Amino acid sequence: MPQHFDAVVIGTGQGGSPLAVRLGESGRKTAVIERAAFGGTCVNVGCTPTKSYVASARTAHVARHAAAYGVQVAGPVTVDLAQVKARKDRIIGESRSGVEKWLRGTRNLTVFNGHARFTGPRTLSISGHDGQLIEQIEADEIFINTGTRAVVPPLAGIERIRYYTNASLLELTELPEHLAIVGGSYIALEFAQVFRRFGSRVTVLVRGERLLAREDADFAQAVQAVLEREGVSFRFGAQPQRVEPLAGDGVRIGFEGGEAALEASHLLFATGRKPNTDDLGLAAAGIDTDRHGMIAVDGALRTQAPGVWAIGDVNGRGAFTHTSYDDYQIVAANLFDGGARSADTRIMAYAVFVDPPLARVGLSETEVRASGRPALIATMPMTRVGRARERGETDGFMKVLVDAQSKQILGAAILGIEGDEAIHTFIDIMAAGAPYPTLQYAMHIHPTISELVPTLLDRLKPLQ
């Protein structure tokens, strides 16, 4: 007979781990199942390792420009990728072991290492890496938190070359001589700047005609200008069609339309991610997925199957660590605190961690224009910000849009130093449902980036 649990969590990502702990601490007999590394994408191949690389790359960049600040650095600045990786691995190891220790030390919580598959509406089999059955379990409540993985396009010749994804590129110990990156969104751009600052030649291959297709064109162009100034090359309208191996790990990339081929020492695919739902046996639970493999959920993150929820990247409600954690908070509030929270009312916010970062909350200018509503808009260059001038980092600008009638902030974005922190002034006001004068009349600390937000709002004018 299957072992019975009150609740089961599949996956230990940023939503799954705290939910499993909360379930166990609530008195429910709970199981958590992890088939790979504890902590999910963020800890192991996402935010934690990539932002440690961003930090190393920024250190190299600042050192190379130290003379502009009156600081002399003797000799050329070089990067030892093996040491960068070792630092990253230490940070990951601490986080990963911390998550595992937290889970294993929680009362009423049993940890299984294995792969879970549905065998019925609320029954699961757990198998090891060798495919052997470890356990069969059943539960009253099941929470799916299995995350996503990188998409690799089916190019002709792909099976003959060595290529990299965001995960495998982080295992290199020697710098690529020439890194080609397929993709034009945040993962591609973060890696492009990082490896250029490390010392690699970098070429980014973009299928469309500009970067960051979901962003306003002015922000995309500004990001491109920063990266080009640092030596990153771009090829737009580039649609890879075939690949073939060269000496070592090298690759020749051929394109549609007879465009000249590109040769590179390393090839990274940053062309999107797909959910880890194809081997969960969802059909046995009566759960459908869309054409992308995402699990449909309602605002409370419940699937179509009674007693089954899906949180994190697999539900298509957001592909970020913070949205996954917010999913946990929504489920926890509704299950344990008598709440009625819903993802339907969530205000989307995110950042692209290039340097300087691009951070956004709510609607873009493009989206506001498409809505046809009367709105106000204001922009301000970072050259107006004392903190940016003092730091010698004045790239970028701020933008905000508000509803002309309700005075509610519709959206805001900051491309600039510490913009990923300053954006929270907008996030919090929007979450509170307060009109923009609440922020406009606030007194902020000088000298900071956020102190110019009220000044930005002083510049509001009708959106033409």
Which amino acid belongs to residue 428? D
- How many residues in the chain? 464
Residues carrying an active site annotation: 446
Q: DSSP 3-state assignment of 215?
A: coil
Distances (CA, A) of 15 to 22, 23, 147, 306, 310: 11, 12, 10, 20, 10
Task: Please tell me the predicted confidence (pLDDT) of residue 257.
Answer: 87
- pLDDT tens by residue, 377-421: 999 999 999 999 999 999 999 999 999 999 999 999 999 999 999
Residues 6+ positions from 7 with CB-CB distance below 8 Å: 23, 28, 29, 30, 31, 139, 140, 141, 142, 143
Cα 395 to the center of its chain, rounded Å: 23
Percentage of residues in the chain with pLDDT exceeding 90?
Answer: 98
User: Quick check: 182 and 164 in contact, CB under 8 A?
Assistant: no
Q: Which residues contact 385 (CB under 8 A, 6 or more apart)?
A: 394, 416, 417, 449, 452
Looking at residue 231, what is its pLDDT?
98
Annotated binding site for FAD: 51, 313
DSSP string, 288-350: -B-TTSPBP--TT-B-SSTTEEE-GGGGTS--SHHHHHHHHHHHHHHHHS-----GGGPPPEE
pTM: 0.96
* Average pLDDT of the segment spanning 153-160: 96
- Domains in the chain, CATH or no CATH each: 3-149+274-345 (3.50.50.60), 158-271 (3.50.50.60), 356-462 (3.30.390.30)
DSSP secondary structure of 155-177: -BTGGGS--B-HHHHTT--S--S
Answer whether residue 248 shows pLDDT above 90.
no
Q: What pLDDT shows up at residue 1?
A: 86
* Dist. CA 84–CA 172, nearest whole Å: 10
Residues annotated in a binding site = 51, 183-190, 272, 313
Task: Convert the pLDDT of each residue in 275-301 to its tens digit.
Answer: 999 999 999 999 999 999 999 999 999
